[in-house]
Structure 1
Amino acid sequence: MHLILGGALIGALCSGLIALASGVTVESLYCLVDQFQSLIAGFLALIGAAITVWIISLQLQESQRQFEIAKRDKVEAEKAATPLILSSLCDYAQNCANLSSRILDLSNQPHAQRLTSLAATPIADSPSIDKDDIQSIKKYIEFGNEGERKHLKHLLNKVQVQIARLRGTRGKAVGELPHNKPHKLLQHEANARILEAAEVYAIAGNFFEHAREEGALPDETKPSLENMLSSLRILGLDEFTHPDIFKIAAGRYDNA
């Protein structure tokens, strides 16, 4: 736009110089201006509008640049705090696995003994996530790239569903179950909660490495079998003490 404006001004100046060089008098120029004053006024208005548009365009460009800088700084700030948040998610998964393992160990016990044992367990209350950590994850989802948003949304959904399910399983463990084989029901649910805890740990672990710029995020949000088995072992389980869980994991997760 400024090139067009400059060209117009230079053209007008050159025309005036050519006119003077051709012997046109000042009086005749005044007459020419008076005759075409409406046209000249319109031309000057057009130049003024062009200048206004150019200035506004520069202001918009600067505003966009400042917005991008602020957005980048905010993303960097969220990324810097992400390893701490993911570490707390891993701690949450560990607590979930501990409680679920405790329920599994007590599944064959009578109701009164289960109630007493769970009440004496330090993590008897269902684990939860700090609200500030959830808000930080949501902010990261807002400004992250497509792959990061996909994995964090999946992780957040997993955690929210798991919290509700674990509370339900613990409620069944301390309550009277209207079931002909309550220990089988508790074993099934406890195994499921342990696998969910391992999945949260695996997803958080993958993103933890990515946030520390030590690895790329996998294409799929679902953990691989290798990730799941590694997470189960980190959570304190193994093939000898909990063979059923490892057998279920082997059939549910692809070894990608």
Structure 2
Amino acid sequence: MAERGAEQRIALVLEYDGTGFSGWQRQDDAPSVQEALEGAVSRIANHPVAVVCAGRTDAGVHAAAQVVHFDTTASRPLHAWVLGTNAQLPETVSVRSAHAVDADFHARYQAQRRGYRYVFLCRRARPALLRHRVAWTHHELDEGRMHRAAQALVGEHDFSAFRAAACQAPHAVREVYRLDVHRHGELLFIDIEANAFVHHMVRNIAGTLMAVGTGEQPEHWPAGLLAAGDRTRSGMTAPAAGLYLTRVVYPSHYGLPTRGQWPFLA
């Protein structure tokens, strides 16, 4: 019989390729990251386990540093939660580290900020090797225009203009700490950090900035959209493939890593 002890709370940091999933959240009729992880952890714990994540990701969105927590009475060394769980997971999901945390730790509610990176490939030819890893555009994007336009969105605002119609959050007020656009060769990056995000907020901001980057819209357009608060006037929802959850920050005493490490995500 598996060894049991007092209930303890474990935090996991994981990465995943979201291509084949319906998103983070468990679905009745489609594979989800949550379902895969809960099944794997439950087999190692030898009892049903429910996990709570730092931020739900959409279908096709990836993560380099998703954080979850769960409660268990199973007595396991921390490395067993990593190696054992990974042995039960599909190859597109991997636990990077496990941490014993205080009972008051909550992966979602105690996250102080979350960071995402959008990766765009700007070239005429469609990608093959990176087809599920980047958002491809054959248009040339002016990162300078995009960066300047993006600064109007930094700070605490009502982001209703960038909120999906299906969003269930009670309000759209969020604080964006930074929103940077920069380039490395054919790759263009949009980095955004905020205390939280409403549904599709990052993808809608990215689509809006794309319209500025192509010259279709002026630099002051995002500021006007923000003030108007009307989603129907904003830009397209950018593709999921190029979006990564790269950072979740908690109070330092929990000792959790805050950033994913991967070649163009570090």
Say which structure is richer in helix: 1
TM-score surpassing 0.5?
no
- Please, what TM-score do these two structures have when normalized by structure 1? 0.25
Say which structure is richer in strand: 2
> Over alpha carbons, which structure has the higher Rg?
1
